[in-house]
Chain A
Amino acid sequence: MASVIGAAARSTRPRISALHGLVAGAALLLALWPLVFGNKFLLALATLVALYAIGAASLHLIIRTGHVSFAHAGFMGVAGYVAVLSQMRLGLPFAAALPLGCLAAATVALAIGPLILRVTGKYFVLVTFLFGEILRLVFTEWTAVTGGSNGIFDVPPPAPVFATPLGFYYLALGAAVLCVGIVARILGSEIGRTIDALREAERLAECSGVPVIRWKVAVFVVACALAGVQGVLQAHYLRLIDPTTFSIVESLNLVVMNVIGGMQRLAGALIGALFLTALPELLRGYVEMQRVFFGIILIIVMAALPGGIIEIGARLRALGKAR
């Protein structure tokens, strides 16, 4: 499987122009989406996909270092609560509250990162699972500040222009393009090669001169700050912030997006975000059977494409070559 993915990575590299064309086409489609599909449901769906693309792509950055974090939604929550509270209690403008929220998530990541990034594999999963649960408990139990299980209502729109669904869609889309762009830029640079090296062989990277822990912490901090963007925007979109939106289930969702899309490529995370956000919504028509269908589809995809949906591309190319 690894060799299939490796081959795919190699064969796409020289065709950068084709990739750029694809990205430009997708951007155009997303920009024109509300004009083409005037329908409110599809607009809301596209907004959610844009928001989840931020979380999935930022988690992808951590996954590329070889760590699967189950605390990602917790970090979103830290950013969300800090931003909402600083706006509603301290009267800060949205433009200041958003970076402040992300900074808070980054600070928590910086405090906890050097401790937890020393463990790998299933132990990292366990530790982050617990940490995510601790964060959720803080959101739930610190009633005086967070409003407890009820959360905080009537979160104001970021600005009057973003108060409409259409305005908010473009805000979410812009944020997603920016955040995904940052992740893509990091992975495409020399830092990306360092990340690949320390995922493949941590000790070898260390004795090749890479300060492994420092780099893993740096990547973790950046990824958690980016996840914060989703946390903040989501609170404004729902006009509500409460602990359920930052629970383990949400973290698991982001992990599944990466797994089902394909963990080796950033595009996999985006495909996963699209798939996992759109599919349950599109199955809404069959309310009682929704979860059953969803589960069956997940199982089929994972059984047929262990490398994720992105593997379809590699398979098609291999087929084309075989002819």
Chain B
Amino acid sequence: MALLEVADLGVRYGPIIGTDGISFALDDGEILALVGSNGAGKSSTLKAILGMAPYPAGAISFAGAALRGCKPSEIVRHGIGYAPEGRRVFSAMSVSENLRVGGFARSAHDNAARIRRLYDYFPRLAERAGQRAGSLSGGEQQMLAIARALMPRPRLLLLDEPSLGLAPIIVERIGEILREIQVAEGLAVILAEQNANWALSLAGRAVILELGKVAATGAAADLLRRPEIRRAYLGA
């Protein structure tokens, strides 16, 4: 059984269509790229999974349980981590305080051990542990947002545009770290990205969205080779 199953998902914001019948599945430990231009439905899909966007049509199940009707905080406790678009952090709080909010409802002892582990993955955050999150660089804030989402040891991590506005070298670094965590913890990742080159190089499989529908799906390596996809999404 797949870890996450999205079936015929139809997200609606009032009369506005977010997604129009998207289906895909994801296994444990798999990185899936969700690629498409602005308004293709990438964020809407992630928000629906986390219970933040209403979907009158379709179903989402995680580890065999339907997620419809659950609050975001409940879904996080089910084992889905989420780093929203725009590298959102609690800017008035320190780096370690941000992480402890992510470890909400876990013991202080658990959190301390988890924070040490995450500092191994993200050494830059260890250097900035006591600093106000608002004073970090863009790349560091993105790392903090990802690390905060990883605090409760999720099985699935949802990343919304993690590369947005970051220098290419930082984007590469974040990709390496994600791979390292995927291998070490068996973490599954859904990477919603406009930077298709990077996302497809990181992912095993990809779903390409267009105007709320699935335009193409398959192994990332295959999609990278298809000429019409290279033309439309990779600028080649």
Contacts and interface: CB of A to CB of B under 8 A. Distances in A.
- Are A and B associated in one complex? yes
Interface of A: 2, 6, 10, 190, 193-194, 196-197, 200-201, 203-212
Contacts of A6: 92, 132
A11 to B, nearest CB: 12
A2 B92 contact: yes
Contacts of A201: 88, 90
A206 B104 CA distance: 10
A43 B202 CA distance: 72
20 contacts: A2-B92, A6-B132, A193-B100, A193-B101, A196-B90, A196-B92, A196-B97, A197-B90, A197-B93, A201-B90, A206-B71, A206-B72, A207-B52, A207-B82, A208-B101, A209-B73, A209-B76, A209-B77, A209-B104, A211-B73
B50 A207 contact: yes
A52 to B, nearest CB: 28
A210 B88 contact: no
Interface string B88-120: 101111000100111011001000000000000
A212 B72 CA distance: 10
Contacts of B105: 209
Contacts of A190: 100, 108
A211 to B, nearest CB: 4
A205 B102 CA distance: 8
B149 A208 contact: yes
Given A193-B100, A193-B101, A209-B102, A200 B72 contact: no
A190 B88 CA distance: 21
B83 to A, nearest CB: 9
Contacts of B132: 6, 10
Residue among A190, A207, A212 with most chain B CB within 10 A: A207
Nearest to B82: A207
A6 B177 CA distance: 31
Contacts of A208: 76, 82, 101-102, 104, 148-149
A42 B41 CA distance: 67
B73 A212 contact: yes
B97 A193 contact: yes
Nearest to A191: B104
Contacts of B148: 208
A204 B93 contact: no
Given A207-B50, A207-B52, 12 more contacts: A2-B92, A190-B108, A193-B93, A194-B101, A196-B93, A200-B92, A200-B93, A206-B73, A207-B72, A209-B77, A210-B73, A211-B73
Nearest to B102: A208
A2 B134 CA distance: 12
Given A208-B101, A208-B148, A208-B149, A200 B90 contact: yes
Contacts of B36: none
B84 interface: yes
Contacts of A204: 84, 88, 90
Nearest to B93: A196
Contacts of A203: 52
Nearest to A205: B101
A48 B115 CA distance: 46
Contacts of A207: 50, 52, 72-73, 76, 82, 84
Nearest to B89: A204
B139 interface: no
Contacts of A205: 90, 101
B10 interface: no
Contacts of A197: 90, 93, 101
B212 interface: no
B18 interface: no
B88 to A, nearest CB: 5
